[in-house]
Structure 1
Amino acid sequence: MTNSAPYMGNAPQASSSPPKSRQLDAPNDDSEARLIHAIIEGNVETVDQVHERSLSSPPRRARHTEGGLFLPPALAFVKPNSSEQVFPSILTKPSVTLDEVLNVIERPEMLWDCWGPQSLDYYDLSDLWAAYTCGGNAFDYDGNHLGAKPPLEALEKKFKSKWRKLAKPKTAWGRIRMIPEYIISESNARDVSPRVIMDELEALRDLDGGEPCGLSALSKLLKAHISGRLQAQTNATDANTEDTNGNVDPPSGSKKRKAQGCILRQSDKKKKFVF
């Protein structure tokens, strides 16, 4: 993890290329804004200490090193309504794991603006897979690289829907996660490399033989593909209920069939990331 301050201003978005320049918001003169502009320098600082130092010098831009973890706003580490607005001591260490950072986050709803994904059509298939399983990059509005963003899979596994409270629209997350979770599910079920599944999806994007469709359109094709496979499985199950005399088993009534092979589940493999 980078020994740096939280980013000052609006949270940037991950990008494979730096975004256009944009004027940063000026800090407000209140305790929350002062805490957001606090700088981790090997010592835990309180709001008052940060404010006292800021009176004599302007806030400094967050420092980072290539590959370091980009931190969310400082308030994400403070319990709501807490009077003790200090950074967790774990953040003063020169190196910590991603799990250690996630374990001290008290306000996961602040993570979406900082670590959330881009829109689906922003990615190509490889970039989306990398963002979900490995993480992405964060830039400020001047195009400076601030550090690494955690894997979306790790955030979803840790915080469930809590980190997506500010997602707009919320339905976008369902489309974003469908593709990488399908890759994980199919790879595990068929015991093949994720690359094999990704190649199949690339072929699905190219069905018309023209320009490959975007990932938003791919998610719709994938949904139709899964639905078609489910229907085929249902038809096969119904056919197997006929006995040799041509009799058909009575309907199951309220019993629900459990669809097999199409559950988009996350990988159970535990990952550990060191920054």
Structure 2
Amino acid sequence: AAGVPIKAPVAGISCGLITGDEGVYGDFMTMVDIQGLEDFYGDMDFKVAGTKKGITAIQMDLKVHGLTPEIIKEAFAKTHKARNYILDEIMLPVISEPRKELSKYAPKMYTLQIDPDKIGDVIGKGGKVIQEIQSEYDVKINIEEDGRVYISGVDAEKCEGAVSVVKLIATDPEVGAFYNGVVTRIMNFGAFVEIAPGKEGLVHISRLDVKRTEKVEDVVNVGDSIIVKCIEIDDQGRINLSRRDALIELEGMTPENEIDETPRKPRRDNHRRGDRR
């Protein structure tokens, strides 16, 4: 019912034992589906779980010194018959196959592979980055030396969010890609936006909006979440972003101004040093 993908349904049943004065070598009686009374006063609690085809698990509590082959054979026979009855008459008429999706209450595990060289970035200095991800998304993250990352949690949406963040950290920014970032700093020439933990880029003031921007604070403030497009990564690894391009391409907004991409020529001074006019 939890939606766990199993090959076949499994049922379990207990078999108890009552022996006479001569112990296991004298008269004995076995019984299935024992209750607390039989468990307390009886000599055995023989639990068997399995499918129609075979046994998947056995666990036994025993108060006598050993069992005879006859007792074991009878216990297996009775638990087999009872197990099939539970499967055919109780379980399968109600739920014939696992649910199509995992229950929202079932724990979930996600696995992904990252470049081992990026493990340090995901963990962060002193474990700061990985601890923040675990806290924000309520997940547990384990990373192997070969780059395998295991993310476990109960809420599928939060687990998927954590997976996305780890992928962002472990993947170098890509020109042309869009990112949901957070404004971290504001300067007079633009805003710095964190697109992943430890990865920050600049949105120049000319690329903050589809219209002319006089002040950065007129458009964004520290802490704002904005969609940006990566438009350039220079030779020094600095990331240049554009909110303007994201608004145009993702939201279909029309630019009110055009950005002049032509390099400006240096200004020439017509006045020679010492000239007076």
The structure whose Rg is larger is 2
Q: Point out the structure with the larger strand share.
A: 2
Length-normalised TM-score, structure 1: 0.25
Q: Point out the structure with the larger helix share.
A: 1
Does 1 or 2 have the higher relative contact order (CA < 8 Å, sep 6+)? 1
